[in-house]
């Protein structure tokens, strides 16, 4: 717990506002605490684990099933949404104020635009379903955030879920290799997930979260070491170079941001200015040495070569070009939320005809957002991300440790979304991470502001006495 956290009346291990609930254990024992943790754990598990182990299904159909379109998925998430709504109802006053006043202001605006896109959507039923999923995820975010949950409920419950998935995946890969090992990709582990890249992604986040618990000294050392090594083993055996690279970046950002020297005046400005200086100096040195500005091949070539990848990101460039062509047919409003990648005979059929296979998405979340929501929706999403960064800078004043881990997660999501469509993509894993992180952070800032106001009013009352 940081001094500023204590000064603002916020404890990371108990709900804020009202009386702290009894929490003699690491994870707490009250039924509401367990319920909020279960919301995080099961929503992550449901978003990642297929309902069957038929690994021959690929493309939009598999994506539709795993991300919330099947009947089983609707039942699973429907139950979670009902539990979240019940918890919010039990704390109706604070929940309503959080959802109407405390959220990132671009979050409800983006939600409203996604819902409004139903009016011109090529597939209005799909747009309605995805909007309902968006609302449900916001309810879960409110239910796991202060004052119902504790400020660190989200990250700790996420750690439990990811460690359990890594453990189960390791067991399946070793005991049932025909299910857990992808022989077509050099024996890479995929465990109980659909594919190796996703397993590598969650294992990498698990490594980072276990490192955080070790440094914070909130969990016994042997447990931290065991969890860290398990997630690291799965990360390596998944053989996902992208996941290893992104995980390394995330850990570096986390370790840098938790340093005290970033907690002074305007920490967010320091980070931004430092990054800008490094970028400008790098470009200047390149121009001095080469005599021209760097292009894509200059930037991506060395990195791609390091991981034995091509600079067109394994054919993604062709998908991007075709998806952008489709997006320019409706550049202002978009085709509708979730209304493009709908499978055979859908709007994306011309891409399947050109590539001789049907992609599940554009493999670039920002292109998909522009295609589905147009320039208007893309502007709202840009505002959503920029405001999230602004809130991260504010969070450094309240809880540097929490701000550091949320910053690292945000960076992972931003970078990963350049190669995978996750942001605003139904109940995809990183979309869950972003929404939960955003709502939790907003609630922490909002509760800290309320605590300061109450302290000021109390001090004023004492002066009058």
> Which residue shows structure tokens 């004052």?
147
Q: Does residue 458 form part of some domain?
A: yes
Q: Does residue 219 form part of some domain?
A: yes
Q: Does residue 278 form part of some domain?
A: no
> pLDDT over 90 for what percent of the chain?
42
Contact between 206 and 161 (Cβ < 8 Å): no
Residue 189 in this model has a pLDDT that exceeds 70: yes
Question: Residue 214: in which H helix or E strand, if any?
Answer: helix 196-216
CB atoms within 10 A of CB 420: 23
Q: Does residue 296 form part of some domain?
A: no
Enumerate residues 6+ apart whose C-beta is below 8 A from 290: none
Closest CA to 432 of 242, 202, 258, 248: 202
Residue 257 in this model has a pLDDT that exceeds 90: no
Strand partners, 188: 182
Which of the pair, 178 or 10, is modelled with greater confidence?
Answer: 178
Q: Does residue 5 form part of some domain?
A: no
Residue 461 in this model has a pLDDT that exceeds 90: no
- Give the count of domains, the chain: 1
For 458-463, what is the mean pLDDT?
A: 71
Question: How many whole angstroms from its chain centre is CA 154?
Answer: 11
Query: Distance between CA 264 and CA 126 in Å, rounded?
Result: 47
pLDDT at 73: 81
Give the least confident one: 79-93, 225-239, 414-428. 414-428
Q: Could you report the per-residue pLDDT of 223-254, keeping only the tens digit for each?
A: 999 999 999 999 999 988 888 888 988 898 89
Query: Distance between CA 236 and CA 449 in Å, rounded?
Result: 43
Residue 353 in this model has a pLDDT that exceeds 50: yes
Closest CA to 88 of 16, 22, 10, 32: 32
Q: Could you report the per-residue pLDDT of 278-309, keeping only the tens digit for each?
A: 666 566 555 555 555 666 555 655 555 544 45
DSSP 102: I
Residue 167 in this model has a pLDDT that exceeds 90: yes
Q: Does residue 109 form part of some domain?
A: yes
DSSP secondary structure of 260-314: GGGSSSSHHHHHHHHHHHHHHHHHHHHHHHHSS---HHHHHHHHHHHTT--TTTT
Q: Could you report the per-residue pLDDT of 435-446, keeping only the tens digit for each?
A: 999 999 999 998
Contacts 24+ apart (CB under 8 A), 137-140: 137/43, 137/427, 137/431, 137/432, 137/435, 137/436, 138/99, 138/103, 138/107, 138/111, 138/435, 138/439, 139/81, 139/84, 139/85, 139/88, 140/39, 140/40, 140/43, 140/80, 140/81, 140/84, 140/436
Average pLDDT across the chain, whole number: 81
pLDDT at 54: 55
- Identify each DSSP E strand in 83-152 by its residue range: none
Q: CA dist 125 to 117, 145, 184, Å?
A: 11, 31, 37
Q: Does residue 158 form part of some domain?
A: yes
Enumerate residues 6+ apart whose C-beta is below 8 A from 364: 316, 319, 320, 323, 417, 418, 419, 420, 421
Q: CA dist 82 to 157, 246, 388, Å?
A: 19, 35, 27
Give the least confident one: 63-67, 84-88, 129-133, 199-203. 63-67
Enumerate residues 6+ apart whose C-beta is below 8 A from 248: none
DSSP 99: I
What is the domain range of residue 122?
A: 14-263+314-464
To the nearest 10 degrees (0 to 180), the angle between helices 429-464 and 365-395 is 30
For 323-327, what is the mean pLDDT?
A: 93
Q: Does residue 145 form part of some domain?
A: yes
Contact between 16 and 10 (Cβ < 8 Å): yes
For 58-80, what is the mean pLDDT?
A: 65
């Amino acid at each position: 717990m940081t001094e500023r956290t204590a000064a603002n009346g916020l404890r990371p291990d108990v709900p804020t506002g009202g009386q702290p609930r009894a929490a003699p254990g690491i994870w707490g024992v009250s039924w509401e605490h367990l319920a909020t943790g279960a919301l995080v754990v099961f929503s992550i598990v449901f978003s990642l684990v297929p309902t069957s182990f038929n690994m021959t299904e690929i493309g939009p159909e598999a994506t539709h099933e795993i991300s919330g379109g099947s009947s089983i998925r609707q039942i699973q998430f429907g139950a979670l949404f009902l539990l979240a709504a019940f918890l919010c109802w039990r704390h109706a006053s604070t929940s309503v104020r959080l959802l109407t006043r405390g959220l990132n202001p671009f979050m409800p605006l983006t939600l409203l635009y996604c819902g409004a896109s139903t009016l011109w959507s090529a597939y209005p039923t799909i747009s309605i379903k995805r909007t309902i999923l968006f609302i449900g995820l916001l309810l879960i975010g409110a239910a796991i955030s202060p004052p119902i949950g504790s400020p660190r409920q989200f990250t700790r419950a996420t750690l439990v879920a990811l460690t359990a998935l890594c453990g189960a995946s390791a067991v399946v890969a070793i005991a049932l290799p025909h299910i857990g090992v992808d022989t077509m990709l050099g024996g890479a582990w995929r465990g109980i997930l659909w594919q190796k890249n996703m397993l590598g992604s969650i294992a990498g986040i698990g490594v980072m979260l276990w490192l955080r618990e070790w440094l914070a000294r909130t969990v016994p050392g042997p447990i931290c070491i065991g969890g860290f090594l398990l997630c690291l083993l799965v990360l390596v055996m998944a053989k996902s170079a992208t996941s290893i690279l992104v995980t390394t970046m995330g850990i570096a950002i986390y370790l840098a941001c938790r340093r005290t020297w970033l907690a002074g005046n305007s920490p967010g400005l320091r980070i931004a200015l430092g990054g800008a200086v490094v970028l400008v100096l790098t470009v200047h040195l390149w121009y001095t040495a080469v005599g021209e500005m760097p292009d894509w091949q200059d930037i991506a070539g060395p990195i791609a070569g390091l991981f034995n990848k091509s600079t067109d990101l394994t054919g993604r460039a062709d998908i991007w070009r075709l998806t952008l062509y489709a997006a320019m047919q409706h550049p202002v409003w978009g085709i509708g939320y979730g209304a493009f990648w709908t499978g055979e005979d859908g709007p994306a059929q011309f891409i399947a005809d050109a590539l001789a296979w049907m992609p599940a998405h554009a493999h670039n979340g920002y292109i998909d957002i522009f295609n589905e929501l147009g320039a208007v929706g893309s502007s709202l999403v840009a505002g959503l991300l920029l405001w999230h960064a602004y809130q991260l800078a504010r969070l450094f004043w309240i809880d540097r440790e929490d701000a550091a881990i949320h910053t690292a997660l945000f960076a992972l999501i931003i970078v990963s979304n350049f190669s995978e469509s996750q942001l605003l993509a139904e109940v995809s894993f990183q979309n869950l991470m972003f929404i939960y992180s955003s709502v939790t952070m907003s609630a922490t800032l909002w509760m800290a502001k309320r605590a300061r106001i109450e302290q000021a009013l109390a001090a004023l009352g004492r002066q009058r006495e």
